[in-house]
Structure 1
Amino acid sequence: MTYYQRLQWERAMKFSRKTLWTSCIAALGALASSYAGAEDLKIANLSALVGDPYFISMKCGAEAAAKELGVNLLWNGSTGPGIAEQVKVMDALKLQNPDGWMLTSFSSTALIQPIKELMAAGKPVVLADGTLDEEIMLEGFHSDNSGAAEQIAKFVSEHVKGKAKIGVVASFPGNPVDQARYEDLPKTLAKLAPNVEVLPFEYGKVDSSLSAKIAAGLILAHPDLTVLYATNGAQAQGVISAVRSANAQDRIMVVAYDATPDEVEGLRAGRIQALIAQSPYLIGKLSMKAVVDYLRANPGGAAVKPKNPVYSMTPIMMLTKDNIDTEEAKPFPYLSACAK
């Protein structure tokens, strides 16, 4: 090797070592940045009815999971049941550039396009309760509402003898979450309690005063009314008020969905005979974990594809005065505030 060739070789080796060292430093920096990013993940939780114990319980579950997983929770939502307010809150959350989302929608269609856009941008979206008309989110968790009609029908068949009527006070027509709680009731009662007629559905719009007026009208119009079924806590309070005002506690049973603190107190006091309780705390926890698990397993930011199957069910339980204090029932009553 000539002197000139040796000089060229030494320069090349020096450049290669420098390039390799620079590459290693860059790779280590990228790895550190990636790790720090994983620990600084921001997960948005677009809630609904933020003051409702059901969604407070869901928030508590999400908070607990976020703390365990070492991520940040951005929690916000609407104060009323309208989808327009939810869309505004969603737009505000987007400004904080969250890495992933968990959300509850009051509409089965309105948030489909925004969810598609988030998923295409590599931001996983998990549906925390309810269903959408298109399975375009990463995953969805919701209560196994399919069993509610059967549990109610069985309860009614055991406690109502002879011909009778049941009135249903639901929330809004077309609300997919609420609709699943009552739409199968006529068909199921026809099998298990054919002597009980289901009256046309009424809508209390998550308003206790309106629900009280509806229930009072049903009590007055139907002397053979034996059961009033309210599909959420606010409507249950209105139904209870109407039954008490009519002095009809001895002939009309109240069955309600959810297990808010007021409903559980009503159950213990005998103003409600049965509650169909969900597990929102579990839904919040599972939804948060699903978002974070995906982000940590897929750090590249590629478009997110839905799982197959996309939906997972969480349990419901019928609570009565006889079982409310059992070990089995402990996870189901809702919270009014998260533990400190």
Structure 2
Amino acid sequence: MRRNNVVLSVGLAAALVASLSACGAAEGNAPAGSTGGDAKKITFIQGVAGDNFYISMQCAAEQEARTLGVSLDTQGPQKFDPTLQTPILSSAIAARPDAIMIAPTDVSAMQQPIDQAIAAGIKVVLVDTTLNDTAKVSSQISSNNLGGGAAAFDAIKQLAPGGGKVLVIDNQPGISTSDARTAGFAEAAKKDAAYTDLGVQYAQNDVAKAAQLVTAALQKDPDIVGVFATNLFGAEGAATGVRQAGKQGAVKIVGFDAGPDQVKALQEGTIQALIAQQPGTIGTDGVQQAVDAIEGKPTEAKIQTDFTIITAQNLDSPASQAAVYKSDCSG
């Protein structure tokens, strides 16, 4: 959807005012052709602040907000933790935006706080992660995480075709996206008797802990051939753990996400493949669905985005470069 064209009847000065207003909409200013009180307000609550995945989502959401002439305010907890995200959501509810885009940090713990937002008349769009009960949300947008997990196992098979033991490093149970990735990986691993799935270990989004887990796992099972890390922090920690164990080259790492640190590890050969999501598409779709919900237009109940498999061999391709996450919104 796009804004209606404005008929310019008051000359060039009015056109310049409208243009400046539209450019500032994503930073909280009124959109073109409206007063501050008329601006549609959307609050975007990330899963964790500073994560390149959510930064990339924010950049695209801001661009779409400018295009549609709405106000977008972005907030996020310092860790992926419902106890930290809940007060941010409560504060947003008190500010009464027209819509909230949110990546719930737990499928259960965030259910009641989000239901409270909906009860207050605020439209809610879930981005990236989801809840146990999504009946009342306007839309939910996420990657095809089950398929991404299966693709991660296929990547390990290609990198270590002789079979062997494989391990998954996840964040924590109860996160819908990574739960689906681990399930997709496990289902794919069960179908190939040449591989032994050692299961999942949880790093709580802590790079140092992920490194410790991988180092300990390699001490116990030195014949591990592949590690799948379900998110950016796990991949960075797994790469460190493999390096500390002196297993570079012997242990193949497939990471989920493509931040600058992961790309650097790919270039250095510590990580052999990355499953890149499309956070920009999620951010754009999230704003579009939120605006449709505010305006009483039909929304899409569920949208799934695809992913890109990045390797050292295809890193320089346009598709791979477009899939690499942003570290800020300046470019």
How many angstroms does 1:65 deviate by?
A: 0.8
Task: Indicate which of 315, 318, 324 corresponds to 2:309.
Answer: 318
* CA distance 1:118–1:227, shift in 2 (3 Å): same
8 Å CA contact 1:118–1:125 kept in 2: the answer is yes
How many angstroms does 1:158 deviate by?
A: 2.3
Q: Which amino acid aligns with 1:168?
A: V
Give the distance between the partners of 2:79 and 2:131, measured in 1 at CA: 20
**TM-score normalised per structure 1:** 0.82
| Partner secondary structure for residue 198 of structure 1 | strand
Q: Does residue 1:71 correspond to 2:70, yes or no?
A: yes
How many angstroms does 1:119 deviate by?
A: 3.1
Once the two structures are superposed, residues 277-321 of structure 1 have per-residue CA deviations (whole angstroms, 9 ceiling, x without a partner) of 1011111111011111222346xxxxxxx95x6211011111111
| Partner secondary structure for residue 303 of structure 2 | strand
RMSD: 2.0
* CA distance 1:95–1:252, shift in 2 (3 Å): same
How many angstroms does 1:110 deviate by?
A: 2.5
Q: Does residue 1:52 correspond to 2:43, yes or no?
A: no
Once the two structures are superposed, residues 4-63 of structure 1 have per-residue CA deviations (whole angstroms, 9 ceiling, x without a partner) of xxxxxxxxxxxxxxxxxxxxxxxxxxxxxx964785111111112111111111111111
**TM-score normalised per structure 2:** 0.84
| Partner secondary structure for residue 249 of structure 1 | coil
Give the distance between the partners of 1:134 and 1:288, measured in 2 at CA: 21
* CA distance 1:93–1:270, shift in 2 (3 Å): same
Give the distance between the partners of 2:322 and 2:127, measured in 1 at CA: 18
Q: Does residue 1:182 correspond to 2:182, yes or no?
A: yes
8 Å CA contact 1:39–1:71 kept in 2: the answer is no
* Number of the residue aligned with 1:13: none
Once the two structures are superposed, residues 75-97 of structure 1 have per-residue CA deviations (whole angstroms, 9 ceiling, x without a partner) of 11111111011110011122322
1:293-304 map, 5 Å: 293-297=292-296
How many angstroms does 1:147 deviate by?
A: 1.1
8 Å CA contact 2:96–2:122 kept in 1: the answer is no
Give the distance between the partners of 2:163 and 2:317, measured in 1 at CA: 33
Post-superposition, which runs of at least 4 consecutive aligned residues in structure 1 deviate over 4 A?
34-39
* Number of the residue aligned with 1:237: 236
How many angstroms does 1:114 deviate by?
A: 3.5
| Partner secondary structure for residue 329 of structure 1 | helix
- List alignment gaps of at least 5 residues for structure 2: 1-32
| Partner secondary structure for residue 200 of structure 1 | strand
1:121-132 map, 5 Å: 121-132=120-131
8 Å CA contact 2:160–2:252 kept in 1: the answer is no
* CA distance 1:70–1:38, shift in 2 (3 Å): farther
Q: Which amino acid aligns with 1:75?
A: T
